[in-house]
Amino acid sequence: QSNGEGDRKAAMVKLTYAERIELSKMEDAILSAEATLEQLQQELSAGSNDPAWFATHGAKIAEAETAVKRLYDRWEVLEGKRK
């Protein structure tokens, strides 16, 4: 394997401009998603006895948890490409 070929492979795993922008905004996005999740969890714990209310908030919490996980997963991918 020539040195030039290895350099091309290394360049392929570097972050694109768009990925660098995404990574620079990732921490704020995660903090915002976590704040949303925390707010929903507090609303649920202080909620009413109405089963429909719990069903609606339970679905919102599941969506918020998925969003947080997705952001952390994407952050891990971007950080891995950066190394």
pLDDT in tens, 12-56: 568 999 999 999 999 999 999 999 999 988 888 776 677 877 788
Cα–Cα distance between 64 and 55 in angstroms, integer?
Answer: 14
- Quote the pLDDT of residue 22: 96
Instruction: Indicate the SS3 state at residue 40.
Output: helix
- Quote the pLDDT of residue 41: 87
Place of tokens 């401009």: 17
Tokens linked to 45: 């714990």
**End-to-end CA separation in angstroms for the chain:** 22
Cβ–Cβ under 8 Å, residues 37 and 64? yes
